Amino acid sequence: MAERSQKTGVFAIPGLGRIVRVTGNTRVGRNTTAGESIQIPAKKVVKFRVVKAAKDAIIPSKKK
């Protein structure tokens, strides 16, 4: 399972959610000391996405 999740970047926890690897973009930042612009490189981060059934169990959806 670990090898497959490294290739796809997704690790699923049934009934709860998915842990997903996301690549952020390169962006421009500012050095506050010198006041010059610097490039902040892209990086990989991990995010958790909750399954709708788990979210509705915790916070019921509003009915119209």
pLDDT tens, 6-31? Answer: 777 788 888 888 899 889 899 999 99
Percent of the chain at pLDDT > 90 equals 27
Taking residue 55's Cβ as centre, other Cβ atoms within 10 Å add up to: 13
Answer yes or no: are the C-beta atoms of 10 and 28 closer than 8 Å.
no
Fill in the DSSP letter of residue 32: T
Domains of the chain and any CATH numbers? 2-58 (4.10.520.10)
Q: Specify the pLDDT at position 5.
A: 67
